[in-house]
Every structure is written in C-alpha cells, then in structure tokens.
Amino acid sequence: MLKKLGTLIFMALFFTACKKHTGNNHLRYYKDNSGNEQPVSNALDWNKKRLQVLDSLQAAMGALPSFDSLPAFDLQIRDSLPQPGYIRYTIDFLVAANERLPAYLYIPVRKDNQAKLPAMLALHETDSLGKGSVDGQGHNLKLAYAKELAQRGYVVIAPDYPSFGDLKKYDFKNSRYQSGTMKSIFDAMRCVDLLLTRKDVDPERIGIIGHSLGGHSALFAAAFDTRLKVVVSSCGWTLFDNYNIGKEAEQIYGGRLGPWAQDRYMPLLKNKYHLDPAKMPFDFDEVIAAIAPRSVFTNAPLKDGNFDVQGVQQGIANVRPVYHLLQADDHLQASYPSSEHDFPTDTRLLAYHFIDQAFHHIPTTDIPK
C-alpha cells in the first residue's frame, strides 16, 4: 500500500514538474511501439524514453557514426612537460580513418603505481587556444580545470573541439559528420576508448567536465556514452526558451537560436528547423534526464547573459522527478553563484568535491580559495 502511494505521489510530482517544453517531447511520456504516448511510471519506461531522447538529439545533430571496424589508435606523443604532481603529454591519435585528434594527456606522478585512478575528460570553452584554455594558457585562469584535476590525482584528457586549437583548420564542408557537435561527441567517446586502454585508469570512474561550449558538449557526450559516470557543466545550458543573445546579435545570426546553427555546432537547427524554438527536436532538460541516474553538476551563474539562470532552474526542476524515480536524488546538483559567465573558484571547488565524492576519491591536493 505504501509503495503504491509512493508511486502515485511520484507521478503527481512528475506531471506537475514536466510541463510542455519542446515539441512533442515531454519527460512524462514515452511513445510505445504503436506511436501512442504512454506515461513514464518506472525505470523500464524511462529507458524507452531515454532512447527516444537520443533519437531526437540525432535529428538535430546527425547520426552517431558506427564504432565498428575502427582503426588502431596509432597514439603519437609529440612532447611532454613535467609539472608538480603530474606530466602533461601533447598527443594525437586516430579516432577514425583519416581523423586524428590532438589532445593533452595528464598523468599524475605517484609512488603507488598499482591502484587504478579516476579519469576525466576536460572540454574547453569557445577559445581559439582550444585545449590550451583548460591548461591555464588562456585569459581566464579559472578555467584551468584540466591541470587542476591532474593535480588532484586524476588522469585527464583534454581534446580540441573542431575549429579550435590544433583543429583550427577543420573542414566542416567535407566532414562525414552533419554537425560539429556530433563530431565532438564521437571524439569524446573515442577519448573514453583510449582511456580504457590504460592500465592505470579505473573503467568505472570516468567523468567529463566543461565550461560554456565545453559545458554543453559534456552533456551531449554523456547522454550518448553511459561510461561517463560524472558530468560537470559550467555555463553550458539553459532551456531554449530562455537562451539570450540580444537583438543586435539576433539580426546577425538570423534569429535568437542562430549561434547554435553555425557549422561548428548544429546547422540542421537552421536548415531543417528554421531556428524556431517550437520546432526544436530536443531541449536541455531532456539531455540531462537522458544522463540519469548518473551524477550531474551544473554551474549556472545568476548574471550569465546567454544561459539565463531561470531556464536552468526550471530545467533542473523538470529533471528532478526522473532522478527521484531512479532513486538518485543526490546525483543531481546545481550551484547558482552571483557572477557572470564564469566558473568561480568556490563553485569550481564544489564541482571537484562532487566528482571526488562520486568516485570515492581522496584528492592529492586542493586549489586555494
């Protein structure tokens, strides 16, 4: 009787929280084999919905390429840089035929070489430096989370996003991907593949972190790759209805969602969906829900000019019932610092502690406040 009452309470909360947000995709419903909407009432139902969310993402990004018959990595180490607590290697490797991915690989220096270490993918913001920005080479030293995590005892890999860093000449016109977003998802998944070849990496403790461009790229990658157990998204999302760029920028991009439709992101949003928010095949609460019950931490500053905090708060409220259904309430956390589009030190520390807790990891050092 109590179990049945709990289910009824959950469904009431679910229906209240998950109001209409994008097209026909509602978190409270999935479509059965006949195409009819059915209420999500258990974990099995949710998995059906999750797969349908992934289909919606691919409608906007293009299909995720096959992972069959991929070439050997042919890992090349271009240089190494010893640093206090870790060594940073500049590498590149084959992710697919004729596709080499440049990256930094950070390996902690330690006395005990037997225990396996947790690992993180570190995705950079919109910065011409690419991976250099998460190494502390850019204008914002608060985005050096790749090297900071390495200092804390994590194996870290930081790839370039297409059109940045050593991929600055990436040719989108002749790419096999329908979007730069899908290319970055595939690259991230191949980074996980590479990490899993290392004897010092614990396959059950791999996560992903990113700011801005890296923030939503981290969410997209984790939605597709269930091997990523922890996700940190800083200034990376809001619901599309709450995304802001200003009137002048709207004219330049041809609409409020125009920045999302650049070649390096998802051009289908313009070519196929005409930048109409009502026609978007997905929204970010669905992306995060597709990651559940894995751990997700969001940094959403109160003064972020693009990713409006109200859209984040509403999105988190929409997703919470999914985490409750999957008995993972504490796996979804958000911080709302009083700052602009930034990753403040206090919030970054909260994110690191969130990762540490999820991975039962005791850091070798901490960053100063």
Length of the chain: 369
What pLDDT shows up at residue 10?
Answer: 44
Residue keyed to tokens 């290392």: 198
Beta strand 117-123 pairing with 295-299: unpaired
Residue of 292, 284, 296 lying closest to 322 (CA atoms): 292
- The structure tokens listed for 154 are 């994590």
What pLDDT shows up at residue 367?
Answer: 65
What pLDDT shows up at residue 368?
Answer: 55
> Coil, strand or helix: which one is 312?
helix
- The structure tokens listed for 152 are 């804390």
CA distances from 226 to 207, 243, 259, 341, 344 (A): 10, 27, 28, 28, 28
What pLDDT shows up at residue 26?
Answer: 75
- The structure tokens listed for 349 are 């520390």
- The pairs formed by 170-173 with CB atoms below 8 angstroms and a separation of 24 or more are 170/264, 172/263, 172/264, 173/263
CA–CA separation, 314 vs 86, rounded Å?
Answer: 40
The reported pTM is: 0.91
> Coil, strand or helix: which one is 182?
helix
Print pLDDT tens along the chain (369 aa).
Answer: 444 444 444 444 444 444 433 433 479 889 999 999 999 999 999 999 999 999 999 999 999 999 999 999 999 999 999 999 999 999 999 999 999 999 999 999 987 777 899 999 999 999 999 999 999 998 899 999 999 999 999 999 999 999 999 999 999 999 999 999 999 999 999 999 999 999 999 999 999 999 999 999 999 999 999 999 999 999 999 999 999 988 999 999 999 999 999 999 999 999 999 999 889 999 999 999 999 999 999 999 999 999 999 999 999 999 999 999 999 999 999 999 999 999 999 999 999 999 999 999 999 877 655
